[in-house]
Structures are given as structure tokens and as C-alpha cells.
């Protein structure tokens, strides 16, 4: 994959297994932006947006987040990056940055505790269904051997 390649909307959509409409919708919702447009107005994306979209899809599919919740999280992340980038900028007061950082911390902690909860739930479900599968497999083997002997008896 060539870096800085400019991808059309269909290219991105196909790569991610979604549709162009979804990209447009995410743009409407303020989740993504095309990196640039052609003279005629066609959208062009780059690798960075693709990674962001993969991130969005993980948040959706693994945590069941709504698009507005995802937007909030992305805002938190970019806010953090912004603070990091402007650390030696005297124009931003320390107080403002402290508030932003504490908001970000709370958001991240909330997210992490949700992830922890999901992990626990998933592990117990995994165990439960693994046991069920094991029982099913032993039962299946018993019935298979029974079917064989039945056929042999013919």
C-alpha cells in the first residue's frame, strides 16, 4: 500500500466493506473529513482517514457505541493531541488545559471501565458456550458411533 496515496470514496468503502453512503453520513455527523477534494469537488481520502475509520468501526462493533458517542471520544482524543502539540504555547492558559485534561481523563477512565466490564462478560460467555460446545461434541460422537453400529447391524 503506497503511503499518501489518494483514495476515492469507492476505494475506501470497498477496502472497509462499507458503502459510500456510510462515508458521507459519517462526514455529515462530523466523524471524518476527506483530506482534500478534486477541482470538481470529488472527495479524496488518505491512509490516515482509513485508520480512523477502522477505529470508528471497532468502537461501533466491539463496544456498541452510537455515532455521537464515538464523536465525543474522537473529540477527546484530538483535544489531547492538541494539548500535547501546544504545550509550549503561552497563549493557552494552564487552567484551560487542566480542565481539558481532567475531562479527557474522566472520559478515558469511563471507556476503560466499560471495556473491562465487557471483557468480563465476554469471558464468562465464552466459558459458558465452550462448555456447551464440548457437551454437544461428546454427545455427537456417541450418537455417531451408535449410528455406525446400527448400520452395521443391517
Query: Is-contact 76 69, C-beta < 8 A?
Result: no
Q: What is the DSSP string of 65-85?
A: --HHHHHHHHHHHHHHHHHHH
Contacting residue, 14, 19, 62, 66, with its own copies by CB under 8 A? 62
Residues 6+ apart with CB under 8 A from 59: 65, 69, 70, 73
Q: Determine the interface stretch with its own copies among 9-17, 19-27, 41-49, 60-68 (rule: CB under 8 A).
A: 60-68
HEC readout, 11-51: HHHHHHCCCHHHHHHHHHCCCCCCCEECCCCCEEECHHHHH
**How far is the first Cα of the chain from the last one, in angstroms, to the nearest whole number?**
62
46-85 binders of DNA (CB under 7 A): 60, 66-68
What span, in angstroms and rounded, lies between the C-alpha atoms of 44 and 29? 18
- The DSSP H or E segment spanning 141 is helix 94-152
| 42 interface partner picked from DNA, its own copies, none, CB below 5 to 8 A per type | DNA
By CB under 7 A, tell whether 11 contacts DNA. Answer: yes
Contacting residue, 29, 36, 92, 112, with its own copies by CB under 8 A? 112
Q: Determine the interface stretch with DNA among 16-24, 103-111, 115-123, 135-143 (rule: CB under 7 A).
A: 16-24
Identify which of residues 19 and 86 has a Cβ nearer to DNA in the complex. Answer: 19
In angstroms, what is the minimal distance from the CB of 13 to DNA? 8
Per CB under 8 A, residues contacting its own copies are: 58-59, 61-64, 77, 80, 83-84, 94-95, 97-98, 101-102, 104-105, 108-109, 111-112, 115-116, 118-119, 121-123, 125-126, 129-130, 132-133, 136-137, 139-140, 143-144, 146-147, 150
Amino acid at each position: 500500500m503506497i503511503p499518501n496515496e489518494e483514495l476515492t470514496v469507492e476505494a475506501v468503502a470497498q477496502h472497509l466493506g462499507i458503502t459510500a453512503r456510510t462515508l458521507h453520513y459519517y462526514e455529515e455527523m462530523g466523524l471524518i473529513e476527506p483530506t482534500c477534494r478534486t477541482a470538481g469537488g470529488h472527495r479524496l481520502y488518505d491512509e490516515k482517514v482509513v485508520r480512523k475509520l477502522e477505529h470508528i468501526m471497532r468502537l461501533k462493533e466491539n463496544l456498541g457505541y452510537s455515532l455521537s458517542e464515538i464523536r465525543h471520544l474522537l473529540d477527546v482524543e484530538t483535544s489531547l493531541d492538541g494539548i500535547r502539540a501546544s504545550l509550549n504555547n503561552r497563549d493557552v492558559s494552564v487552567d484551560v488545559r487542566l480542565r481539558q485534561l481532567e475531562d479527557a481523563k474522566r472520559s478515558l477512565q469511563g471507556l476503560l471501565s466499560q471495556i473491562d466490564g465487557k471483557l468480563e462478560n465476554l469471558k464468562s460467555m465464552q466459558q459458558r458456550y465452550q462448555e456447551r460446545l464440548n457437551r454437544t461434541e461428546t454427545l455427537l460422537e456417541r450418537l455417531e458411533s451408535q449410528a455406525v453400529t446400527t448400520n452395521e447391524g443391517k
